[in-house]
Structure 1
Amino acid sequence: MFELFIPQFCMPNVFTENKELCLKTFKEYLEVGQRRKEATEFIKLMLKYSDESKAEKERSWKWYQANTVHVDSVMQHCIELTEQGESKQLLNLLVAERENIYAHPNNSISNCWDLHSVYAMLYSIYIKDDKDYYTKIAELAEYSRMQIEVYQKSNEKQHVLYKQVLNELLQIYKTLQNQEKIKEVENIINSLN
């Protein structure tokens, strides 16, 4: 697993040196297997028990299917942009498609964390202001935290990435000097010990 709070990303050839991270991450979203099947079955189950009308359920299901195909094509395009060295276009595409990617069946906790590492690397190239950079990274890490906490509530066990995410959030909030968030994250970390 990669870290989001990554000072080594602030170097000249960061995109060239991290192409493998990008390619691996995008290919993870294209895998067709058990994870995708389970996520699709879960969506069907959610729709079955939702309060939506039959027509709304059909619309939701069609959107989910169309979004999956759409994100698959986005990931294919991300691979092409990575291979072509088009880091700015890649960042623009990922920023524009982030919510759709989050709704993809292969957006597991570990895949999402890898994706956030790609965002962090790309942001380090194009965001020069430290506060802006760490604010963006905090947003990504908070999403990972939320994703893990939802997992933990339904599985009643701690995810292997939870402490790492919390420790990175703590470092990010220290860098941003956000005392309220520092205290919040420290309290969670202390409750785990």
Structure 2
Amino acid sequence: MVYTTMEGALFEPTLYIVKGMCILDNDGNRVLAKYYDKDVLPTPKEQKAFEKNLFNKTHRANSEIIILDGLTCVYKSNVDLFFYVMGSSHENELILQSVLNALYESVSILLRRNVEKRILMDSLDAVMLAFDEICDRGVILDSDPTSIVGRAALRTEDVPLGEQTVVQALYNIMNNNY
């Protein structure tokens, strides 16, 4: 199956929808970022330049979407953090928006509704796990915040060792919980 865009370009449908996700602080500095397509922003230097440009274009805007450097970017801000999800220019914005909402709501639940940089930095490991639970190499895995948090939360006494993720087990071993 091949789809045609309004410009007449042909492209194959793919599951690799998300090109990247990032969280920036109110100065435009990276707090957390993950890029999934090596053809788009392959080096950290290019990623940082893109993030700086993205922040400069969006930190004062009232919209929720922008096309920048051939990427469709949806975003949301709260207090001192900006959340971004990027996809290709022909990607469906509603799908990207659902990923953004899943990311924001998951972080909000993990941080107990206090979505601020200082609190996020204290729970960075759980937020990183949430990133991984939402998307794997650009393929959307889940968009339900409660199930994402259920798998990403670092619970020590509730989860038996055999059912923990590797990160949870290492965390518990390092903190002598076993």
- What TM-score do you get using the length of structure 1 for normalisation? 0.26
- What TM-score do you get using the length of structure 2 for normalisation? 0.27
State the structure with bigger RCO (CA 8 A, min sep 6), 1 or 2: 1
Give the structure with the higher percent strand: 2
Give the structure with the higher percent helix: 1
